[in-house]
Amino acid sequence: MVKKIFKFIGKLILYFFGISIGLVLLFKFVPVPFTPLMFIRTFEQIGSNDKVVWKHDWVSIDEMGTSIQKAVIASEDGKFTTHNGFDVKAIEKAYKNNQKGKKVKGGSTISQQTAKNVFLWPGRSYLRKGLEAYFTVLIEVVWGKERIMEVYLNSIEMGNGIYGIEAASQHWFNKSAKNLTKTEAAAIAAILPNPRVYKAKNGSRYIERRKNAIKRQMNFYNSPNYSE
């Protein structure tokens, strides 16, 4: 009986590795059609009798322009092009502040956020964080930085039922992502901590301050060089 249980568990582990590696390889070349969060938000909308909104338009990284790439790097992960998927100092800082009871940014990199968005569910359990680390390593090795940024900007939640930079650009500014100005890109990046509450257009004073801070930070970045 014990042997059967271990054999079953072993098969499950093999299936998990096979499927997960297969998906990562597939999404290196194929656009990600949907994410677990998209389904979760849809069921939440249905459950609360709200209008179901699901806008998601995939565009290549060349069709995004560089402003939004610099904006999210400035806002979310200043070391994106140089780290190996994890910003150890940011994680340590977040951990120390969380121990003190301070509400701070969690220290997740763009790579970690992409791994979570595409393959996992929201949450803070040790299991979910462990799987996030596993998928982060996989996409860093298999995809590389440029593909990670492309998937990130096509998958991240950027409003109520708005996913990806093209849908967000059309929703907030009625234009294609490649035509976003520096100010507009910074405005979208500014709402990412809570995109269902904050507004990229005619936003609160807090968002205006964040937007202006991101714009200033963007001046320190050249067009992203993902081959570094």
Across 20-47, average pLDDT: 95
CATH code of residue 121: 1.10.3810.10
Total domains present in the chain: 2
40 and 17 together in one domain: no
Determine what percent of the chain is predicted with pLDDT higher than 70. 93
pLDDT: which is higher, 91 or 156: 156
Closest CA to 107 of 79, 135, 67, 143: 79
Q: What is the residue range of 144's domain?
A: 32-218
| Residue 202 and residue 152 in one domain | yes
220 against 77, higher pLDDT: 77
Q: Are 210 and 93 spatial neighbours (Cβ–Cβ below 8 Å)?
A: no
Question: Does residue 59 lie in a domain region?
Answer: yes
- pLDDT, one tens digit per residue, over 89-146 is 877 676 666 666 655 556 799 999 999 999 998 888 899 999 999 999 999 999 999 9
**What's the order of all strands across the beta sheet hosting 162-163?**
55-56, 162-163, 157-159
Same domain, 112 and 187: yes
Q: Are residues 138 and 60 in the same domain?
A: yes
Tell me, yes or no, whether 1 and 23 share the same domain: yes
Query: What pLDDT band is residue 228 in, cutting at 50, 70 and 90?
Result: low
- Checking if the pLDDT of 224 tops 90, the result is no
- Domain assignment present for residue 226? The answer is no
Distance CA(197)–CA(194), nearest Å, equals 6
Do 24 and 113 fall into the same domain? no
Q: Which two tokens stand for residue 190?
A: 């500014």
- What pLDDT sits at residue 165? 97
Reply yes or no on whether the pLDDT at 205 is more than 90. yes
Both 122 and 134 in a single domain?
Answer: yes
- Read off the tokens for 168: 């967000």
Rg (C-alpha) for the chain, rounded Å, is 18
Question: From CA 56, how far away is CA 163, in angstroms rounded?
Answer: 5
Bridge partners of residue 55, in order along the sequence: 162
Judge whether residue 30 has pLDDT over 90.
yes
Q: Is residue 161 part of a domain?
A: yes
Any domain includes 206: yes
User: Under DSSP, is residue 200 helix (H, G, I), strand (E, B) or coil?
Assistant: coil
Residue 220 amino acid letter: F
10 and 122 in a single domain? The answer is no
Do 50 and 109 lie in a common domain?
Answer: yes
pTM given for the model: 0.91
pLDDT score of 186 more than 70: yes
1 and 94 fall within a common domain = no
- The answer on 86 and 179 residing in a single domain is yes
Identify the DSSP state of 162.
Answer: E
**95 is a domain residue:** yes
Same domain, 177 and 66: yes
Give CB contacts under 8 A, 24+ apart, made by 169-174. Answer: 169/68, 170/55, 170/57, 171/55, 172/199, 172/200, 172/201, 173/200, 173/201
